[in-house]
Amino acid sequence: QQQVKQSPQSLIVQKGGISIINCAYENTAFDYFPWYQQFPGKGPALLIAIRPDVSEKKEGRFTISFNKSAKQFSLHIMDSQPGDSATYFCAATYSGGSNYKLTFGKGTLLTVNP
Residues that bind other proteins (CB under 8 A): 31-32, 34, 36, 41-46, 49, 89, 93-95, 99-102, 104-107, 109
Residue ranges of E strands in 15-107: 19-25, 33-38, 45-50, 56-59, 62-67, 72-77, 86-92, 103-104
Closer residue to other proteins (CB): 68 or 101: 101
**CB of 28 vs other proteins, minimal distance in Å:** 16
Closer residue to other proteins (CB): 13 or 104: 104
Closer residue to other proteins (CB): 45 or 78: 45
Burial of 46 (0-12, 13-18, 19+ CB in 10 A): exposed
